Amino acid sequence: MVVILAFALFALIGILASQAFRSTGTYRAAVPAGYQLVSMDLGHEARMGARGPVLLRDDEWGIVGKVDLLLRGPQGEVIPVEYKSAWKGYEAGTARRSHMVQLATAFLLCQGDPRINRAPVEGWIRYVDDQGKVVPGGEVKVQNTPEARAQVIEIVQRMRQAKRTKAEVHRTLNTGYNCRHCLNHGTCGEAKVA
Amino acid sequence: MTRQTTETRDWMEELITLQRQPQVARPDRPDITASAIADYAYCGRSWWIREQGKSPAAKALMEAGTQRHLSAGAIIAQGISLERLVTVCLAGAAILAIITGVLWTQL
Protein backbone atom coordinates (compact mmCIF):
# COMPACT_ATOMS: atom_id res chain seq x y z
CA MET A 1 0.00 0.00 0.00
CA VAL A 2 2.84 2.38 0.98
CA VAL A 3 4.68 1.54 -2.23
CA ILE A 4 1.60 2.23 -4.35
CA LEU A 5 1.07 5.56 -2.59
CA ALA A 6 4.72 6.52 -3.10
CA PHE A 7 4.44 5.57 -6.78
CA ALA A 8 1.32 7.72 -7.14
CA LEU A 9 3.08 10.63 -5.40
CA PHE A 10 6.16 10.40 -7.65
CA ALA A 11 3.99 10.14 -10.75
CA LEU A 12 1.88 13.11 -9.67
CA ILE A 13 4.89 15.33 -8.95
CA GLY A 14 6.46 14.21 -12.21
CA ILE A 15 3.33 15.07 -14.22
CA LEU A 16 2.97 18.45 -12.51
CA ALA A 17 6.64 19.30 -12.99
CA SER A 18 6.42 18.17 -16.61
CA GLN A 19 3.44 20.48 -17.21
CA ALA A 20 5.22 23.35 -15.44
CA PHE A 21 8.29 22.70 -17.61
CA ARG A 22 6.22 22.76 -20.80
CA SER A 23 4.50 25.97 -19.74
CA THR A 24 7.82 27.75 -19.24
CA GLY A 25 7.60 29.35 -22.66
CA THR A 26 10.50 31.60 -21.84
CA TYR A 27 12.74 28.54 -21.36
CA ARG A 28 11.60 27.12 -24.69
CA ALA A 29 12.32 30.51 -26.25
CA ALA A 30 15.87 30.25 -24.91
CA VAL A 31 16.40 26.58 -25.77
CA PRO A 32 14.00 25.74 -28.63
CA ALA A 33 12.55 22.24 -28.97
CA GLY A 34 15.04 19.92 -30.65
CA TYR A 35 18.03 21.89 -29.36
CA GLN A 36 20.22 20.89 -26.43
CA LEU A 37 21.90 23.19 -23.96
CA VAL A 38 25.63 22.43 -23.86
CA SER A 39 26.86 25.27 -21.66
CA MET A 40 25.69 28.55 -20.18
CA ASP A 41 27.57 31.58 -18.91
CA LEU A 42 24.69 33.61 -17.54
CA GLY A 43 25.32 33.02 -13.82
CA HIS A 44 23.60 30.37 -11.64
CA GLU A 45 26.59 28.02 -11.95
CA ALA A 46 25.53 25.98 -8.91
CA ARG A 47 22.27 25.00 -10.60
CA MET A 48 23.82 24.37 -14.00
CA GLY A 49 26.23 21.57 -12.98
CA ALA A 50 28.09 20.19 -16.00
CA ARG A 51 26.31 22.67 -18.23
CA GLY A 52 28.04 25.64 -16.62
CA PRO A 53 30.38 28.06 -18.40
CA VAL A 54 33.14 26.77 -20.66
CA LEU A 55 36.24 28.79 -21.44
CA LEU A 56 36.97 28.31 -25.12
CA ARG A 57 40.40 28.91 -26.58
CA ASP A 58 41.77 29.45 -30.06
CA ASP A 59 45.48 28.75 -29.88
CA GLU A 60 46.19 29.97 -33.38
CA TRP A 61 45.22 33.56 -32.57
CA GLY A 62 45.45 33.50 -28.77
CA ILE A 63 41.80 34.31 -28.21
CA VAL A 64 39.73 33.15 -25.22
CA GLY A 65 36.12 33.62 -24.31
CA LYS A 66 32.98 32.20 -22.76
CA VAL A 67 29.88 32.10 -24.90
CA ASP A 68 26.67 33.06 -23.06
CA LEU A 69 24.87 30.03 -24.41
CA LEU A 70 26.17 27.14 -26.44
CA LEU A 71 23.47 25.04 -28.09
CA ARG A 72 23.56 21.80 -30.03
CA GLY A 73 21.14 21.90 -32.93
CA PRO A 74 18.97 19.06 -34.29
CA GLN A 75 21.65 18.12 -36.86
CA GLY A 76 24.43 18.17 -34.25
CA GLU A 77 25.55 21.66 -35.25
CA VAL A 78 26.98 24.10 -32.70
CA ILE A 79 25.16 27.40 -32.20
CA PRO A 80 26.69 30.16 -30.07
CA VAL A 81 24.22 32.63 -28.56
CA GLU A 82 25.14 36.02 -27.09
CA TYR A 83 22.85 38.02 -24.79
CA LYS A 84 22.95 41.80 -24.98
CA SER A 85 21.03 44.61 -23.37
CA ALA A 86 18.40 46.10 -25.65
CA TRP A 87 18.85 49.85 -25.85
CA LYS A 88 16.12 52.47 -25.67
CA GLY A 89 14.33 52.60 -29.01
CA TYR A 90 15.69 49.22 -30.13
CA GLU A 91 14.58 48.40 -33.67
CA ALA A 92 13.49 44.79 -34.27
CA GLY A 93 15.96 42.66 -36.18
CA THR A 94 18.90 45.02 -35.77
CA ALA A 95 22.24 44.29 -34.12
CA ARG A 96 25.21 46.48 -33.25
CA ARG A 97 28.40 45.92 -35.20
CA SER A 98 30.42 45.27 -32.04
CA HIS A 99 27.93 42.59 -30.96
CA MET A 100 28.21 40.92 -34.35
CA VAL A 101 31.99 40.98 -34.04
CA GLN A 102 31.73 39.33 -30.62
CA LEU A 103 29.55 36.61 -32.13
CA ALA A 104 32.04 36.23 -34.99
CA THR A 105 34.71 35.74 -32.29
CA ALA A 106 32.55 32.98 -30.83
CA PHE A 107 32.45 31.35 -34.29
CA LEU A 108 36.23 31.47 -34.38
CA LEU A 109 36.49 30.01 -30.86
CA CYS A 110 34.15 27.12 -31.70
CA GLN A 111 36.23 26.33 -34.75
CA GLY A 112 39.58 26.77 -33.02
CA ASP A 113 38.92 25.01 -29.71
CA PRO A 114 39.93 21.35 -30.15
CA ARG A 115 37.02 20.18 -28.00
CA ILE A 116 34.48 21.50 -30.52
CA ASN A 117 36.63 21.83 -33.63
CA ARG A 118 33.78 22.86 -35.92
CA ALA A 119 32.66 26.11 -37.44
CA PRO A 120 29.10 27.14 -36.63
CA VAL A 121 26.92 27.89 -39.63
CA GLU A 122 25.20 30.66 -37.72
CA GLY A 123 24.84 32.21 -34.27
CA TRP A 124 22.18 34.22 -32.51
CA ILE A 125 22.22 37.54 -30.69
CA ARG A 126 19.40 38.04 -28.21
CA TYR A 127 18.53 41.53 -27.00
CA VAL A 128 16.94 41.39 -23.56
CA ASP A 129 15.10 43.82 -21.30
CA ASP A 130 15.67 44.44 -17.57
CA GLN A 131 13.85 41.19 -16.72
CA GLY A 132 16.15 39.20 -18.98
CA LYS A 133 13.38 38.53 -21.52
CA VAL A 134 14.05 38.84 -25.23
CA VAL A 135 12.43 42.01 -26.58
CA PRO A 136 10.08 41.72 -29.61
CA GLY A 137 12.16 41.01 -32.71
CA GLY A 138 15.22 40.89 -30.48
CA GLU A 139 16.59 37.55 -31.67
CA VAL A 140 18.95 38.21 -34.57
CA LYS A 141 20.42 35.31 -36.54
CA VAL A 142 23.85 35.99 -37.96
CA GLN A 143 25.56 33.83 -40.59
CA ASN A 144 29.17 32.75 -40.19
CA THR A 145 31.12 34.07 -43.16
CA PRO A 146 34.83 34.23 -44.09
CA GLU A 147 34.50 38.04 -43.98
CA ALA A 148 33.36 37.92 -40.34
CA ARG A 149 36.36 35.75 -39.44
CA ALA A 150 38.74 38.06 -41.31
CA GLN A 151 37.30 41.04 -39.44
CA VAL A 152 38.01 39.42 -36.06
CA ILE A 153 41.55 38.49 -37.06
CA GLU A 154 42.23 42.02 -38.30
CA ILE A 155 41.03 43.49 -34.99
CA VAL A 156 43.15 41.03 -33.00
CA GLN A 157 46.23 41.99 -35.01
CA ARG A 158 45.55 45.69 -34.42
CA MET A 159 45.10 45.10 -30.69
CA ARG A 160 48.35 43.14 -30.46
CA GLN A 161 50.18 45.88 -32.33
CA ALA A 162 48.76 48.52 -29.98
CA LYS A 163 49.82 46.47 -26.95
CA ARG A 164 53.27 45.84 -28.40
CA THR A 165 54.00 49.44 -29.37
CA LYS A 166 52.11 50.94 -26.38
CA ALA A 167 50.92 53.60 -28.80
CA GLU A 168 47.87 55.70 -28.10
CA VAL A 169 44.82 54.43 -29.98
CA HIS A 170 42.58 57.04 -31.56
CA ARG A 171 38.85 57.24 -32.05
CA THR A 172 37.46 54.91 -34.72
CA LEU A 173 33.81 55.89 -34.42
CA ASN A 174 32.67 58.09 -37.27
CA THR A 175 29.44 59.49 -35.91
CA GLY A 176 28.67 61.75 -32.98
CA TYR A 177 25.64 59.55 -32.23
CA ASN A 178 27.79 56.66 -31.08
CA CYS A 179 30.18 58.89 -29.14
CA ARG A 180 27.28 60.36 -27.19
CA HIS A 181 26.29 56.88 -26.06
CA CYS A 182 29.84 55.73 -25.33
CA LEU A 183 30.47 55.46 -21.61
CA ASN A 184 34.03 56.67 -22.08
CA HIS A 185 33.21 59.91 -23.90
CA GLY A 186 33.91 61.89 -20.72
CA THR A 187 37.52 60.72 -20.54
CA CYS A 188 38.08 60.23 -24.28
CA GLY A 189 39.28 63.68 -25.28
CA GLU A 190 38.39 62.92 -28.90
CA ALA A 191 34.66 62.29 -28.57
CA LYS A 192 32.39 64.06 -31.01
CA VAL A 193 29.16 64.81 -29.22
CA ALA A 194 26.71 66.87 -31.24
CA MET B 1 24.19 10.11 -40.96
CA THR B 2 24.93 7.75 -38.07
CA ARG B 3 28.58 8.72 -38.22
CA GLN B 4 27.70 12.40 -38.07
CA THR B 5 25.49 11.80 -35.03
CA THR B 6 28.32 9.96 -33.27
CA GLU B 7 30.74 12.78 -34.03
CA THR B 8 28.35 15.41 -32.71
CA ARG B 9 27.78 13.42 -29.54
CA ASP B 10 31.53 13.29 -29.12
CA TRP B 11 32.07 17.04 -29.23
CA MET B 12 29.27 17.64 -26.76
CA GLU B 13 30.44 14.94 -24.35
CA GLU B 14 34.03 16.03 -24.65
CA LEU B 15 33.12 19.61 -23.88
CA ILE B 16 31.05 18.65 -20.85
CA THR B 17 33.57 16.20 -19.40
CA LEU B 18 36.71 18.24 -20.13
CA GLN B 19 35.37 21.73 -19.51
CA ARG B 20 37.14 22.10 -16.18
CA GLN B 21 40.54 21.30 -17.64
CA PRO B 22 42.84 24.27 -17.14
CA GLN B 23 43.50 26.23 -20.28
CA VAL B 24 47.08 27.33 -20.72
CA ALA B 25 48.09 30.57 -22.41
CA ARG B 26 51.32 30.93 -24.33
CA PRO B 27 53.80 32.81 -22.12
CA ASP B 28 55.04 34.96 -25.00
CA ARG B 29 51.57 35.99 -26.10
CA PRO B 30 48.92 37.13 -23.62
CA ASP B 31 45.39 36.05 -24.45
CA ILE B 32 42.86 38.44 -25.89
CA THR B 33 39.29 38.03 -24.69
CA ALA B 34 36.21 38.00 -26.90
CA SER B 35 34.71 40.91 -24.94
CA ALA B 36 37.87 43.01 -25.48
CA ILE B 37 37.58 42.33 -29.22
CA ALA B 38 33.96 43.54 -29.08
CA ASP B 39 35.13 46.67 -27.20
CA TYR B 40 37.69 47.39 -29.89
CA ALA B 41 35.11 46.79 -32.62
CA TYR B 42 32.90 49.43 -31.00
CA CYS B 43 35.74 51.96 -30.86
CA GLY B 44 39.48 51.40 -30.65
CA ARG B 45 39.92 54.38 -28.35
CA SER B 46 37.21 53.17 -25.97
CA TRP B 47 39.07 49.85 -25.67
CA TRP B 48 42.38 51.69 -25.17
CA ILE B 49 40.90 53.85 -22.37
CA ARG B 50 39.78 50.69 -20.58
CA GLU B 51 43.19 49.14 -21.08
CA GLN B 52 44.75 52.18 -19.41
CA GLY B 53 42.37 51.78 -16.46
CA LYS B 54 40.89 55.23 -17.06
CA SER B 55 37.32 54.12 -17.53
CA PRO B 56 35.22 54.79 -14.40
CA ALA B 57 32.03 54.17 -16.37
CA ALA B 58 33.07 50.68 -17.43
CA LYS B 59 32.33 49.19 -14.01
CA ALA B 60 28.77 50.56 -14.00
CA LEU B 61 28.24 49.18 -17.50
CA MET B 62 29.52 45.76 -16.45
CA GLU B 63 27.21 45.67 -13.42
CA ALA B 64 24.13 46.63 -15.46
CA GLY B 65 24.97 44.04 -18.11
CA THR B 66 25.63 41.35 -15.51
CA GLN B 67 22.21 41.92 -13.92
CA ARG B 68 20.43 41.40 -17.23
CA HIS B 69 22.57 38.32 -17.89
CA LEU B 70 21.60 36.92 -14.48
CA SER B 71 17.90 37.51 -15.17
CA ALA B 72 18.13 35.75 -18.52
CA GLY B 73 20.12 32.92 -16.91
CA ALA B 74 17.54 32.49 -14.13
CA ILE B 75 14.88 31.58 -16.71
CA ILE B 76 17.11 28.90 -18.19
CA ALA B 77 18.31 27.60 -14.81
CA GLN B 78 14.68 27.25 -13.70
CA GLY B 79 13.92 25.22 -16.82
CA ILE B 80 16.92 22.98 -16.15
CA SER B 81 15.80 22.41 -12.53
CA LEU B 82 12.29 21.46 -13.65
CA GLU B 83 13.71 19.15 -16.30
CA ARG B 84 15.79 17.41 -13.62
CA LEU B 85 12.78 17.12 -11.31
CA VAL B 86 10.75 15.49 -14.09
CA THR B 87 13.57 13.00 -14.77
CA VAL B 88 13.94 12.09 -11.06
CA CYS B 89 10.17 11.70 -10.58
CA LEU B 90 9.75 9.56 -13.67
CA ALA B 91 12.71 7.37 -12.64
CA GLY B 92 11.30 7.08 -9.09
CA ALA B 93 7.84 6.22 -10.41
CA ALA B 94 9.31 3.59 -12.74
CA ILE B 95 11.29 1.95 -9.90
CA LEU B 96 8.22 1.93 -7.65
CA ALA B 97 6.11 0.49 -10.48
CA ILE B 98 8.59 -2.39 -10.78
CA ILE B 99 8.57 -2.97 -7.00
CA THR B 100 4.76 -2.89 -7.02
CA GLY B 101 4.71 -5.39 -9.85
CA VAL B 102 7.10 -7.74 -8.04
CA LEU B 103 5.14 -7.51 -4.79
CA TRP B 104 1.88 -8.06 -6.66
CA THR B 105 3.13 -11.32 -8.17
CA GLN B 106 4.24 -12.57 -4.75
CA LEU B 107 0.81 -12.04 -3.22
3-state class (DSSP) for residue B85: helix
- DSSP strand pairing (A69-72 vs A63-66): unpaired
Q: Report CA Rg, chain A.
A: 21
Contact between chains at A27 and B76 (C-beta distance less than 8 A): yes
d(CA A36, CA A178): 37
Residues from chain B contacting residue A69 (CB–CB below 8 Å): 76
Q: Which amino acid is at A126?
A: R
Tell me the per-residue pLDDT of A22-79, one tens digit each, with 9 for 90 and over: 665 577 788 888 898 999 998 888 778 778 888 999 999 999 999 999 999 998 899 9
Please list the ranges in chain B whose pLDDT falls under 50: 1-6
pLDDT score of B90: 82
Average pLDDT over chain B, rounded to an integer: 77
Compute the count of residue pairs across chains A and B with CB atoms less than 8 Å apart.
Answer: 258
| Minimal CA separation from B63 to chain A, in Å | 12
Please name which of A60, A180, A106, A174 lies closest in space to residue B44, comparing C-alpha atoms: A174
Domain ranges of chain A: 1-30, 31-144
For chain B positions 36-95, those within 8 Å of chain A (CB to CB) are 36-51, 54-58, 60-61, 64-83, 85-86, 89-90, 92-93
Residues from chain B contacting residue A158 (CB–CB below 8 Å): 40, 44
CATH of domain A31-144: 3.40.1350
Confidence of residue A21 (pLDDT cuts 50, 70, 90): low
d(CA A137, CA A100): 16
pLDDT score of B5: 47
Confidence of residue A2 (pLDDT cuts 50, 70, 90): confident
* Largest CA-CA distance found in chain B, in angstroms, rounded: 81
Q: How many CA atoms lie within 13 A of B95 on its CB side?
A: 9
Domain ranges of chain B: 67-107
pTM for the full predicted model: 0.82
Q: Is B98 on the interface with A (CB under 8 A)?
A: no
- How much of chain A, in percent, has pLDDT values that exceed 90? 48
3-state class (DSSP) for residue B17: helix
3-state class (DSSP) for residue A39: strand
